[in-house]
Amino acid sequence: MKKRRKLGQHFLKSNTVANYIVSAAKITKNDLVLEIGTGRGILIPYLCKEAKKVYSIEVDKNLYNLAKSNFSNYPNLILERGDGFTCDHSFSIFISNLPYSKSRMSIEWLLQKKFLRAVVLVQKEFAEKLTSNEDHKAISVLANYGLKIKFLMNVKKSNFFPSPKVDSVVLLLKPKKTLSKMLISTVNSIFSYRRKTVQNILKQFSINSTSKKRLDDLTGDEIIKIAKKIIRN
């Protein structure tokens, strides 16, 4: 249990919330669903009821074996053990209770994929960081450029086991643009120089500029334009 706490792993135990998450995804019999983080499988019955096929991937050996034992009677379910963020499955719907330690990486991965909708459960602090238009972070700039983000509901920490220190939030994500790995990497690089002016940031990439603005003075779209300029250089 200590290892799972360290990884930021908290299992949803509310069937009401589980049902809400799946309903919010608006899954049809044409949809291929990818769930990363099977956990104890609370979402599986709801997902399999609605979807054409469900891929549920779990990195933990014991949890994977538990799911194999408990959910062997679902013909449209494919359980896999491993790192779901390295899989090559095509999917139209993405569902996940994202561990806090993997939240940023997960969103960056999702930004590179083609899909219809994603419903993710994230810690409230990360949701606020993701949707912030005032306190720029690399992940908020990337997410708001590539995704339409809609807040759906608060989920109290009492709905998890073990109980986390903070509440969580259900978010609906719809793609606006598919981002390249290079663009994501470049935006992250720009933010490593966030205390510098645009002039000095671009100087790091051998590009001339006279702008004395800093990243906090720019919109997310302006930061994306700078990243694209760097890539073209």
Q: Which helix (H) or strand (E) holds 199?
A: helix 198-203
* 132 in the same domain as 56: yes
Q: What is the pLDDT of residues 34-61, one digit of tens each?
A: 999 999 999 999 999 999 999 999 999 9
Q: What's the confidence (pLDDT) of residue 122?
A: 96
Q: Please tell me the distance from the alpha carbon of residue 229 to that of residue 202, in angstroms, as a whole number.
A: 9
* 193 in the same domain as 122: no
Sign of torsion, CA 132 219 191 84?
Answer: positive
Contact call for residues 111 and 142 (beta carbons, < 8 A): yes
Q: Residue ranges of the chain with pLDDT lower than 70? A: 1-8
* 133 in the same domain as 103: yes
Q: What's the confidence (pLDDT) of residue 132?
A: 82
* 151 in the same domain as 84: yes
* 192 in the same domain as 125: no
Q: What is the pLDDT of residues 68-99, one digit of tens each?
A: 999 999 999 999 999 999 999 999 999 999 98
In terms of Cα–Cα distance, which of 90, 96, 40 is closest to 68?
A: 40
* 94 in the same domain as 55: yes
Domain count of the chain? 2
Q: What's the confidence (pLDDT) of residue 206?
A: 97
* 195 in the same domain as 138: no
pTM (2 d.p.)? 0.93
Q: Which domain holds residue 119?
A: 2-178
- Residue identified by tokens 């809609």 is 150
